[in-house]
Each structure stands twice: as structure tokens, then as C-alpha cells.
Amino acid sequence: MPSKRDYYDILGVPKGSSADDIKSAYRQKAKECHPDLNPDDPGAVQKMQEVNEAFEVLSDDQKKARYDQFGHAGVDPQAGGFPGGGFGGFGEDIDLSDILGSFFSGGGGFGGSARQNPMGPRRGEDVQVRVTLSFVEAAKGCKKSVSYRRVESCVDCSGTGAAKGTNVNTCSQCGGRGAIVVTKSMLGMNMRSEQPCPSCRGRGKTIEKPCNTCKGNGNIQKGVTTEVDIPAGIDDRQVMSVRGGGNAGVNGGPPGSLRVVVLVKPDDFFERDGFNIWCEFPVSYATAALGGKAQVPTIDGKAAFDIPAGTQPGKVFSLKGKGIQVLNGRGRGDQFVRISIAVPESLNSKQKELLRAFESTFRGGSAQEKSGFFGKKK
């Protein structure tokens, strides 16, 4: 027969822990090991038995003192009140809601304090839509119409769910709580838990005659179209929130928000880098060699700048303040222009002759040799 594990190791607390620390550790282990929360774990029952046995000893000052002095020999599990090796041994029913209330906080159905008042106001749920923008629309901001479906309060019954002239009553079975306490016997232990009231379906109220329009729900699904202001500088995959654009609230609660997911289409010329813009601008060989003026596209239109004589491929020029507006802030980024040389794909005989004549003017070899290109490579 395998030896028993140390009770302190089972609860995960050091020897000499306070009663509060032991109780807190027990509640945590109960959440992790309880069979109701681990239906696929065949060893959950055994683990829970170990946890309860450890807690039963360490939570009793006299038994804890004997265990600290003599170990397992100082406490007799059979005499300690573990009926049938189950989850009992405490001389009372276990309230599953008390153990698991915090684990299911926010609507899990356990614990009185964690459960929302079904008659109280609740905020409506958010609704999400997507909108696709061009590069320039995202950079400069725009207005977009979006269509979606949301829950709205029924105008015929003002959201009560009851037909006009009829009453909404507090549920007699749950007393307006929206939940009832259910007791189940499991492995020699009575487990108490809360479940939604079957009479009012968790609403805490009953309706004499349902509204014909909403069928007693108090709300309806409706398609809406609204115009959304997209701020300048928004980026791909960012989400903006429109307050009040979501589903209607419950029992007079505020509506949820409309969450707009922004998708920005790639641009053939511009590339975004934070709030800066990059682009590649092709110029002719003659312009790069002799210099000249160029008109470069920006998100505000074309901008003129000078190309110095002898400009090399890959040279980068900066256009201050021609980038993207800082989102919800002041100032703009810059636009960086990377120069490339536009090489003709086809030449006529006259053009070829002129280029050969030009190349021959570089005495001592080709233009690459004259510039020391091959020497640099070495």
C-alpha cells in the first residue's frame, strides 16, 4: 500500500501556515480538483479526497498539532470522520457555491454575491464590424457608412416584454433572484449550487401576456446603417469604438459600443512606416546625372523638389511634414523618397548609337572602370 502524501504538500502550503492560509489553499485546490470541474479526469475523485483529508486535519488545531509532531501516525483517518472515503467529514453539507463562487464570478451561476441582479440594469453587448480603407483614406481620415445588425429595445412594449395593458410580476419561485438553490447528493456529500430559475428563465420576473412584436424578449434585431468618422492616422488592424452604437442595454442599462475594425489596403506607391511614408521614385539617367526638378506624389498631391547632379540610385530624400498625421495628436511624419534609375527597355538605332558614343568618351575604360567600381569591390 503506497504511503500517504504529506498534507502540507497536498494543499501546497509550508508547515506552520496560518489557519487563513490553509483555508485559502484548500479553496484553491477545491477549484482545481473538484470532479464537477474535471469530468474527464478519472483521478479527480481521489485527488479531491486527498485535499479534503488534508484540510480536515490541518484545519483542526488539535489534529494539526498531533500531525506536526507524529506525522500520519498521530492522526487516524478512520477516526477522523471520513465517511466512506468520500468528501464528507465536516459534519455538515458543503455549499459548492461558497467554494466555487469566485471561480465563476461574472455569471457562472455560483455564489450569491457573484451573481448579477437579474432585475438590475445591465450594459448591452458590443457589436463589431469591419471597414476597408485605401492608404490615403487611412492617412488623412474620412467618413464611412457601415451597415450591421444590432439589438434594439422593442418600441411597442418599451423593452418590458409585456403586451400593453398587462403587468410584469416578480417571479414567485425565485423571489426575483433569477436563480434557485439545488441540492444534490454525491459520494456521501450534499452539494448545494445555484441554477437559473426554470420558471422565469433567470430573469427574475414573469410576464402575464408577451408582447406580440418581440415575443416577450423586450428587444428585437434590427439592421442599421450609420456614418463613422475615421480619424486621420489610423493604421491597419486598429479598432475604434463608437459609444452607444452596440446592442441595447437590459432593464434600462446603457447600450454597448460599436467596435470598428479598420483594414487598410496596400498602396502601389506608398509604404507606411509608423507615421512616416516611404516611396521609390524613378528618374531618367540624364536627370540623375545632370540634375533637375521632379514632381513627387504625396498624400496631399504632387510636391516639387530638386535632384542634384550626380544623384546615385538608392539616394534618399526627405520631405518634411509630408507623412501621416499622428493619430489623435499633433504633427505629421515625413515622406522619404528613394531614387531609382528608369532604364529604357527598348532603344532605336539612333539612341543606341548615341549611347555608345557617350560611353566611348570615358577614356581608360567604361564608366564603371573610370569610377573605380571594380577596385572598390576588391
Residues 141 and 261 in one domain: yes
* Count: domains in the chain: 3
198 against 111, higher pLDDT: 198
Q: What is the pLDDT of residue 245?
A: 95
Residues 299 and 277 in one domain: yes
pLDDT bracket for residue 32 (50, 70, 90): confident
CATH code of the domain in which 33 resides: 1.10.287.110
Q: What is the pLDDT of residue 52?
A: 86
Question: Does 362 reside within a domain?
Answer: yes
Question: Does 340 reside within a domain?
Answer: yes
Residues 365 and 285 in one domain: yes
Residues 127 and 261 in one domain: yes
Q: Which residue has the cell 502524501?
A: 5
- pTM listed for this prediction: 0.59
Question: Does 100 reside within a domain?
Answer: no
- Each residue's pLDDT tens digit, 66-104: 888 888 877 754 444 333 334 434 434 445 555 555 444
DSSP secondary structure string for all residues of 87-148? S--SSS-EEHHHHHTTTTTTTSS--TTTSPPTTS-BPPPPEEEEEEE-HHHHHH-EEEEEEE
Residues 260 and 278 in one domain: no
Q: What is the pLDDT of residue 377?
A: 47
Domain limit, last residue, from 223, 239, 265:
265
> What's the CA gap between 238 and 361, in Å, rounded?
57
Q: What is the pLDDT of residue 108?
A: 42
Percent of the chain with pLDDT over 70: 81
Residues 237 and 137 in one domain: yes
Q: Which residue has the cell 423571489?
A: 175
Q: Quick one: which of 225, 337, 355, 332 has its CA closest to 279?
A: 337
Average pLDDT over residues 146-161: 92
Query: Which of 113-122, 145-154, 196-205, 258-267 has the lowest average pLDDT?
Result: 113-122
Question: Does 231 reside within a domain?
Answer: yes
Residues 261 and 297 in one domain: no
- Each residue's pLDDT tens digit, 174-186: 888 888 888 777 6
Question: Does 106 reside within a domain?
Answer: no
Question: Does 276 reside within a domain?
Answer: yes
Residues 221 and 133 in one domain: yes
DSSP secondary structure string for all residues of 131-153? EEE-HHHHHH-EEEEEEEEEEEE
Question: Does 342 reside within a domain?
Answer: yes
Residues 60 and 136 in one domain: no
Percent of the chain with pLDDT over 90: 43
Q: What is the pLDDT of residue 42?
A: 78
Question: Does 176 reside within a domain?
Answer: no
283-288: list long-range contacts, CB under 8 Å, 24+ apart: 283/307, 283/311, 283/339, 283/340, 283/341, 283/342, 284/341, 284/342, 285/341, 285/342, 285/343, 288/312, 288/313, 288/339, 288/341
Q: What is the pLDDT of residue 109?
A: 42
pLDDT bracket for residue 250 (50, 70, 90): confident
Residues 347 and 222 in one domain: no
Residues 240 and 285 in one domain: no
Average pLDDT over residues 356-375: 65
Distance (Å) of CA 57 to CA 8, 29, 93, 190, 315: 10, 15, 18, 21, 79
Residues 6+ apart with CB under 8 A from 170: 119, 176, 204, 205, 206
- What's the domain range around 326? 271-377
Q: What is the pLDDT of residue 378?
A: 44
Q: Which residues of 182-219 are buried (b: 16+ CB within 10 A; e: fewer)?
A: eeeeeeebebebbebbeebebbbbbbeebbeebebebb
Q: What is the pLDDT of residue 49?
A: 84
CATH code of the domain in which 344 resides: 2.60.260.20
- Each residue's pLDDT tens digit, 196-234: 888 887 888 888 899 999 988 889 999 999 999 999 999
Average pLDDT over residues 323-346: 93
Residues 134 and 88 in one domain: no
Query: Which of 27-36, 50-59, 248-257, 263-272: highest mean pLDDT?
Result: 263-272
Starting from the edge strand earliest in sequence, which strands make up the sheet with 271-273, in order? 271-273, 276-284, 335-342, 316-319
